Chain A
Amino acid sequence: MTQLGVGFLGAGIATQAIHLPTVAALAGRLRTCHVMDVDPAVAAGSAAAAGARWTTRAADVLSDPDVDIVVVASPPSAHAEQVIAACGSGCRAVLCEKPLATSRDEARLILEASRSSGTPVLVGTMHAYDPACRAATAAWRSAGSEAVLVRSRINLPPDDVYILAATQPVSVPPPWTPPARPWAQGAAAAFITDIMLGLVIHNIPLVREFFPEAGRVTSAATPAPIGYAVAARCNDGAAEFLGMVAADWAADWSLEAWSPSARLRVEFPPSYVHAGSAVARLETGDGTQEWRYPRNGYQAEWEHLADVAAGRTEPMIPLGTAVADLDFALSMAEGAAGLLEQEAR
């Protein structure tokens, strides 16, 4: 089996804690060969741990003939430009961290670049690759259940507890300080947009399994200290997005869907750590089924990416679907921001 080379654009915590260890675990199929970061110490430190070259220039990675897969893990504002450049570099596949882009226009340009170059682009929505989640949602679909309520809940402690369990970071990012309350003009809208595109985006592809089209946002709130509650009317049901990042409590990252005769609950492990798949339970009138696997979403995502890059399969989640996921997230963010701004006035 040919070993594929991986090059990184951006070596922040996602690269250090998630991707480098996952690629290392797939050493027979993948190897990290080039790491770029604007901070030379971060680039050098991350590359050294992987035995790879380092640079502070994206062009060095994109022109490296050993790089088959380009990972775009830079700040979201740079995603579109870098994904498009990667598509033009001749690489075999691109993995872009979520969000794919920060606007619909950027997403459209990415889609065009991918199509015109024939380069598959995958988005790092690891929960969408989680084997337990996929098995359970497939069983839901086969049962013909129609969701009336879907709830995404993400209650987390500060990230560092999981980052330190997943890697030895070259540099520890400063803790996220929530904006001061009461909100200044526009702060609530900016906050909810960041939350939607930075955190809730993980669950958006899963919510779209039940409600493909973004509906109308009907309520939005930002409970202290770092919380959100957004609800939307979708088709004949409702989607609720709830979460809070606060104290040192156990992570509670879940997706639930109800129909009048079925209930699905998927409990995901927190980000960064390798703790196996989600635990997914589907209750119907026939009883309860449960799925859990040793492989987590990151591993499944990377194994699939390697297969796509090797030309063995087509992307499980087409780029058009990923673009629609982003559109859904943007619609939720815009709707929620609009309501919060209206309330502030």
Chain B
Amino acid sequence: MSAAGAARPGSALTVGAAALFPAPRLARPAAAAASLPQLFQPAADPEKPADILLVDGVDPSWPQALGRALDTPVRGVLLCAPTVVPTAEAQALAARAGEAGRPVVVATPFPYDAAARDALSRYGPTDSPTLIDSVVTIRDDGDGRPARSLLGVAFLAQLAAIATITGPVPVLTMNLDTEHAYSATGTRDGLTVVLAGLVSSLPAPSLRIDLLGAHRRHTIRLADPGPSTVVSYGPLGMSGMPPSYQGGLRNAWRNLHAAVTAAEPVRFGLRELAAVLASAPPWSR
């Protein structure tokens, strides 16, 4: 490992989850943490508080779970794939975590994906997209989680992506809003966004986003499992970076470590989540 990628000796944070949350739901983020062994290690001593806690966001009661996590002497929290909750709850938690100086990283795919950031970096200020077209699918594993909660996870992931790309999300009109699927459209300042989301039993859920403008088009696909791909069309033709296996979850963990140990800013945290929730149309749970 290069010097730049190496963690400082003794800086690994302990991660606890099993005591508070059922482990199967957290298998993916736990595996991502395990892929960063110099930054994170499992909490071995159940008597000793863990540095980091994982909170499963699929359950609509995640604000209460996160509140309980913040009641412990935890140094930071990874909120994984949150579903839609009232904005006020997220705002209150953001204020509470901020006052306590405990970073909470919201692990939602787009803001933490290296390929997505690369795509955005290719967009100049003069060739902004005029149409954003996105479809997100989330897998129903048949483990009893309500489809509507899963759909809420997909919706927030998509809104977080749009907010990362464009700033404030346009006011959305729901074309379809059912237990398993939604379709929404919004227009603001010359930008139209068309969003669709589905709960599916098919494997390989993904978040696909097409950014279209007068001169450029980017097609971004974040898949689970990866890789993430970006294909861009511009005046010089088509280009694309090699598929990226540096998934968003791994980068979210890195961000959390840096926020806890080096006071670096959280790229997408509770404040950003609350802003996204505030832009969402009414969402029945």
Contact = CB atoms under 8 A, between A and B. Distances in A.
B96 to A, nearest CB: 38
Interface in A209-264: 218-219, 221, 223-225, 227, 229, 231-233, 236-238, 240, 242, 244, 246-250, 256, 258, 260-263
B206 to A, nearest CB: 10
Interface string B130-145: 1101010100100000
Given A218-B173, A240-B183, A224 B199 contact: no
Contact of A148 (B130, B173, B198): B198
A283 interface: yes
Contacts of B140: 260
A223 B217 contact: no
B61 to A, nearest CB: 25
Contacts, number: 114
Interface centre among A153, A249, A250, A283 (most CB of B within 10 A): A249
Interface stretch (B19-27, B46-54, B189-197): B189-197
B201 interface: yes
B193 to A, nearest CB: 9
B140 to A, nearest CB: 8
Interface in B154-174: 173-174
B191 A223 contact: yes
B173 A219 contact: yes
A266 to B, nearest CB: 15
Given A240-B196, A246-B215, A247-B233, A221 B187 contact: yes
A148 B178 contact: yes
B199 A233 contact: no
A284 B202 CA distance: 7
Given A155-B217, A237-B176, A262 B202 contact: yes
A306 to B, nearest CB: 39
B88 to A, nearest CB: 28
Contacts of B191: 223
A218 B175 contact: yes
A258 B200 contact: yes
- Max chain B CB contacts within 10 Å: which of A227, A261, A285? A227
Interface in A265-292: 283-285
A148 B183 CA distance: 10
Interface residues of A, number: 36
A247 B196 contact: no
Interface string A282-314: 011100000000000000000000000000000
B192 A149 contact: no
B181 interface: yes
B226 interface: no
A29 interface: no
A246 B135 CA distance: 22
A260 B181 CA distance: 8
Interface in A150-177: 151, 153, 155
A149 B233 contact: no
Contacts of B173: 218-219
B165 to A, nearest CB: 15
A236 B178 contact: yes
A260 B131 contact: no
A262 B202 CA distance: 7
A137 to B, nearest CB: 18
B183 A244 contact: no
A337 to B, nearest CB: 16
Interface of A: 148-149, 151, 153, 155, 218-219, 221, 223-225, 227, 229, 231-233, 236-238, 240, 242, 244, 246-250, 256, 258, 260-263, 283-285
